[in-house]
Amino acid sequence: MRLATFRNGKTCILYDADSLCDANGTPQIEPATLAPDYWRHSGRILGEAPGRGASLFLDAGDDQWVLRPYRRGGLVAHLSQNRYVWRGADHSRAFREMRLTAQLHEQGLPVPRPVAARVTRHWLTYEAALITVRLPGARALADCLDEADDDLLQRVGRTIRRFHAAGLDHVDLNARNLLVDAEASVWLIDLDRCRLRRPGRWQQANLTRLERSLHKHLTPDIASHVTRQIQHGYG
């Protein structure tokens, strides 16, 4: 995967040159490609994922893509839902997530292949979006818990362990950011604000956050069993 940048006015795009360039090396992407209205007007939106970011599933021809606009949560969202303080494109949340996802993908870790990230500057602020390849048949772990057996739950634990071994601190590890595909393989998504770190207490903090998420979806007894199986797989 080769990451390249493309600038158009106030917009800067970081994209996978191996999949988004023609034979002459010209990028086959533009700012509109990372805007929801472009896909709505062309009638190529296949669906929408739940959550604050309102991710869209897109018909991109040979592949399906996921377009995720960046959205704020918490109290700060009352001031601005989609604007962030500008400190340069390379410091934007979208570019950092794009590079981190590409790095993990190149290491063979189960993350969706990143396609492109876009930041558009508005004087002292910016807005952003990210496109990744959609995983066929994948569902959030939260939607699979009623049918998840111990083998799958332990596979979740082993997957988390692989990411921790690579140093990934996933600051929002929850039952919706773990996906299970049609082959029952486990994937990790939404690396916004995540980073690579040396081993430390953050690893247990990740697992504790996931446990809290499970208790939101399950009764206490079942959530405790699910947690034990994931921890067993984690080792």
What's the pLDDT tens digit per position in 214-232?
A: 999 999 999 999 999 999 9
Pair 102, 193 in one domain: no
Pair 67, 122 in one domain: yes
**What confidence tens digit (pLDDT) does each residue in 54-102 have?**
799 999 988 999 999 998 865 454 456 789 999 999 999 999 999 999 9
Pair 161, 121 in one domain: no
Pair 148, 73 in one domain: no
Q: CB neighbours of 185 closer than 8 A, spacing ≥ 6? A: 110, 155
Mean pLDDT for the chain overall: 92
Per the annotation, the verdict on 169 as an active-site residue is: no
Among residues 112, 133, 154, the one where a domain terminates is 133
Catalytic residue among 59, 143, 172, 181: 172
Among residues 133, 163, 185, the one where a domain terminates is 133
Query: Which structure tokens are listed for 130?
Result: 């990210």
The span from the CA of 232 to the CA of 156, in Å, is 10
Q: Which residue range forms the structural domain that includes residue 106? A: 3-133
Predicted local confidence at residue 20, as pLDDT:
85
CA angle 52, 183, 66 (to 5 degrees): 30
Q: CB neighbours of 214 closer than 8 A, spacing ≥ 6? A: 145, 175, 223, 226, 227
* pTM for the full predicted model: 0.93
Pair 114, 83 in one domain: yes
Pair 110, 180 in one domain: no
Q: CB neighbours of 66 closer than 8 A, spacing ≥ 6? A: 49, 55, 56, 57, 58, 112, 131, 132, 133, 134
How many distinct structural domains can be found in the chain? 2
